[in-house]
Amino acid sequence: MSTEEKSLHFIEQIIEESLTNGFPKEQLRFRFPPEPNGYLHIGHAKSICLNFGLGLKYNAPVNLRFDDTNPAKEEQEYVDAIKEDLLWLGFNWTEERYSSDYFQQLYDWAVEMIKNNKAYVDSQSSEDMAIQKGTPTQPGVDGPYRNRSIEENLTLFEAMKNGDYPEGSHVLRAKIDMSSTNMLMRDPLMYRVLHRHHHRTGNDWKIYPMYDYAHGESDYVEQISHSICTLEFVMHRELYDWFLDQIYDKNKVRPHQYEFARLNLNYTVMSKRKLLQLVQENIVNGWDDPRMPTISGLRRRGYTAASIRKFCDIIGVAKRENVIDVSLLEFCLREDLNKTAPRVMAVLDPVKLVITNYPEDKEESLDAENNQEDDTAGFRKLPFSRELYIEREDFLEEAPAKFFRLSIGNEVRLKNAYIIKGESVVKDSEGTITEIHVTYDEDSRSGSGSEASQRKVAGTLHWVSIKHAIEAEVRLYDRLFIDEAPDSHKEKNFLEFMNTNSLEIVKGFVEPGLASSTAGDKFQFQRLGYFNTDKDSTEGKLVFNKTVGLKDAWEEKGKKEANLLMNTQKEINKYVKEKDLSNADLMLENIVSNILSIDNFSLINQTVAKNVKNDNNSLLFANLVLLHSDKVQPKDIEKEVLTKLYTMSLKSQLAAVRILAIQNLSTDAANFDEFTNQLAELKNTEKNEKVSDLLNNLKL
């Protein structure tokens, strides 16, 4: 096998095998088939890049087909948004199609199936049909209407089509096999009655085809050669093929379904239903809120199409589900923006800096490089004057040894300008610094070539000239969720993991050149991160969105939290050995404080589970985490793990462990009764006074 062949993903290998076996290359045809019931998200981007990428690779047509078979949830707004997203990502389609284009053909085929005794009208309730369908281990049974005559089925089906029956009164089902091991083959629904307005066909139809019926047949109409779906449709493939068997003409291309692993991203939800909930409950500001994982949200936040395509290329196409770290997406974005985004000056938490030995009426235009990563980016002019804004965090009156920014008596360089030295401060009545007074070295201007300009100093600060600065609203966006898998915890609502700090709005100041920026323009605010101009900007008000930081702050935070928990567990060992009660209390206070500072639910949950073992100090730590963390509760811990924790802790030789276990059980109503006998036995044998007092206060 050649190197090129080895690099092919499995879908490409399937196509290559088809071609090798004689399938005509000119008959290759693909499609991207979104349902217009919501906005596309980053998960769809993988499918888009796959399908359109195959089209480009094999010079084959790719249709955009909207599977618009459910008028209750579909809207023209979503159709328009999907087309906009595709074009922005850099892809164009061969033909724009709709499943609704084929409603008459689908109906005609359904009539033929009835005539061939392959479909029938069922008039039962959905509850009765569900009962008769059986379970994965128990076969289904035939319903009372399964053997209706062909004539009666045809009459009923036509009446359904004409709108003679209310919603829920009848459905058309395929007649396959009620005992099939694949429950999808147990007479699946083909049509249901819906008196709903369709965004394209209006009120022409009173019945609408089910997705499983319409999808494969639509592929056949369009002569799609390779129908590519995500893994959840593996079990649907048998049904896909059965429906094709009813209509297939050997002189035409027969579509084949292939499945790949969809994109799962941590710190994100991909469910359209949950994303819609965020929008409808005004938790976010619409589908294009920059915190949303939608393509439109990412675009508004400042993501580039190239970075998303690169991300999809890196993660590849696989057969197994896995979770991709969102930091990889952010890495692809930084890599792209680093090459393309102009560097500009902006100050988001300003404090006034006065250069006392700089003439009051003097102004300069300094040369500033636009992007050191781009040789063609050139330079721009920056106005400089006596009074500037710098970031408040870039100054400390008295600085520690490793503080490489401005402080009294120390020198730093102002980017593209001069070296300055901290001299004094002015404070208000509450002690807050309102002005920083510095002096500058007139001979140290950047790029002047003077000896002073080449002098090395500890740090370089960004700034804006107060006289020339433009005020701007800056929206500091962060991840929408604080947990790695917000919708994976059975006993918790994903909304419990919302990041309350996902949006902070500040008033900042930017260099004057940004006054002419327009929506979508991207910049690197030097030393702060990447930002872009938001569509809310007007002539008199600039609005910028934070796209991504210069570094992965979440990775750093994750490492810090993991390290903090690890170090806290070491403190447990010291706490247990401490003889001085006052010192022990202080140590315990610090341990609890550390536990409370951890935001990551999964990390906390895993910490409890990992410490359920035959070791007193580990049990003490697990109980402390469970008792004091506001991120995890007993119901969040796996039942087996929790039972083991309580059982072992109540038997622990360490009184502190028994005390904590009793305290946890006393607030755990769901599990308390299970341990009443063990608690009663402990009450009869307990010798520690504190433990006895706790037990006596329990209602056993």
- CATH assignment of the domain containing 59: 3.40.50.620
Assess if residue 1 is contained within a domain: no
- How many Cβ atoms from other residues are within 10 Å of residue 230's Cβ? 15
Do 258 and 318 share a structural domain? Answer: no
Catalytic annotation on 392? no
Q: Identify the helix (H) or strand (E) that includes residue 664.
A: helix 655-666
CATH number for the domain that contains residue 656 = 1.25.10
Tokens describing residue 447: 């790029």
Residue 187 predicted with pLDDT over 60: yes
Q: Of the candidates 245, 220, 112, 216, which has an alpha carbon nearest to the alpha carbon of residue 172?
A: 112
Residue whose tokens read 């096999």: 177
Active-site annotation holder among 31, 35, 237, 291: 35
CB-based burial of residue 445 (10 Å sphere; 0-12 exposed, 13-18 middle, 19+ buried)? Answer: buried
pLDDT mean over 665-687: 90
Kindly report the number of other CB atoms within 10 A of residue 341's CB atom: 25
Q: Is the pLDDT of residue 3 over 70?
A: no
Residues 578 and 679 in one domain: yes
My answer on whether 15 and 152 are in the same domain is no
Looking at the fold, whether 608 and 664 belong to one and the same domain comes out as yes
Residue 296, classed as helix, strand or coil, is helix
Angle, CA 395 vertex, CA 392 and CA 401 arms, to 5°: 145
Query: Is 284 inside a domain boundary?
Result: yes
DSSP 553: H
State whether 175 and 230 are in the same domain. no
pLDDT above 90 as % of the chain: 85
Transcribe 581-639 into DSSP letters.
Answer: HHHHHHHHHHHHHHHHT---HHHHHHHHHHT-SS-HHHHHHHHHHHHH-SS--GGGS-H
Regarding whether 303 and 183 lie in a shared domain, the answer is no
* Dihedral (Cα; 511, 516, 521, 527), 10-degree rounding: 0
Catalytic residue among 83, 196, 262, 352: 262
Q: What is the dihedral of CA 146, 148, 154, 160, to 10 degrees?
A: -60
Q: Which letter does DSSP use for residue 481 in this model?
A: B
Residue 479: name the closest of 681, 271, 621, 269 by CA: 269
Binding residues for ATP, by number, are 35-37, 41-47, 230, 262-263, 270-272
Q: Number of structural domains, the chain?
A: 5
Q: At what angle do helices 211-221 and 237-245 cross, to 10 degrees?
A: 60
Spatial distance between the Cα atoms of 527 and 161, rounded to a whole number of angstroms: 64
Question: Which of 272, 300, 301, 475 is flagged as catalytic?
Answer: 272
The residue out of 395, 427, 462 marking a domain boundary is 462
Q: Of 1-5, 147-151, 183-187, 277-281, which gets the smallest average pLDDT?
A: 1-5
Tokens representing 164 are 């003679």
Task: Evaluate whether residue 5 is within a structural domain.
Answer: no
CATH code for the domain in which residue 407 is found: 2.40.240.10
Residues 95, 233, single domain; the answer is yes
Binding-site residue positions for L-glutamine:
67, 211
Quick one: pLDDT band at residue 603, thresholds 50, 70, 90? confident
DSSP string, 158-174: HHHHTT-S-TTS-EEEE
Query: Which pTM value belongs to this model?
Result: 0.86
Same domain, 430 and 527: no
- Whether 468 is covered by a domain: the verdict is no
- Please indicate, yes or no, if residue 467 is contained in any of the structural domains: no
Determine the Cα–Cα distance for residues 198 and 72; give it in Å rounded to an integer. 8
**Tens of pLDDT along 643-657?**
999 999 999 999 999
Q: What is the CATH number of the domain that holds 500?
A: 1.10.1160.10
Question: 683 and 561, same structural domain?
Answer: yes
Known binding positions: 35-37, 41-47, 67, 211, 230, 262-263, 270-272
273 belongs to the catalytic site: no
Alpha helices for 504-580 (secondary structure H) = 553-577
Q: Taking CA 656 as the corner, what is the angle to CA 650 and CA 662, rounded to the nearest 5 degrees?
A: 45
Tens digit of each residue's pLDDT (9 = 90 or more) over 117-131: 999 999 999 999 999
* pLDDT-derived band at 6, boundaries 50, 70, 90: low
Decide if 66 contacts 97 (C-beta within 8 A): yes
Residue 565 lies in a domain: yes
State the pLDDT confidence band at 635, using cuts at 50, 70 and 90.
Answer: confident
**Helices 42-57 & 76-89 angle (0-180, nearest 10):** 60
- Say if residue 188 is in the same domain as residue 333: no
Indicate if 262 belongs to the active site. Answer: yes
Residue ending a domain, among 212, 230, 246, is: 212
Q: Which residue range(s) make up the domain with 36?
A: 10-100+214-263
Per the CB < 8 A criterion, the answer to whether 319 and 327 are in contact is: no
In the predicted model, what is the mean pLDDT of residues 468-481?
Answer: 97
One domain, residues 58 and 140: no
CATH code, 146? 3.90.800.10
If you average pLDDT over every residue of the chain, what do you get?
A: 94
In this structure, the answer to whether residues 91 and 224 fall within a common structural domain is yes
Q: What is the C-alpha to C-alpha distance for residues 452 and 512, in angstroms, rounded to an integer?
A: 28
Do 492 and 605 contact (CB within 8 A), yes or no? no
Per-residue pLDDT band at 78 (split at 50, 70, 90) = very high
Q: Is-contact 291 349, C-beta < 8 A?
A: no
From 551, 576, 596, give the residue that closes a domain. 551
Residue 469, in any domain of the structure: no
Provide the 10 A C-beta neighbour count for residue 565: 21
The percent of the chain in helix, strand and coil, each rounded to the nearest 5, is: 40, 20, 40
Q: Is residue 438 part of a domain?
A: yes
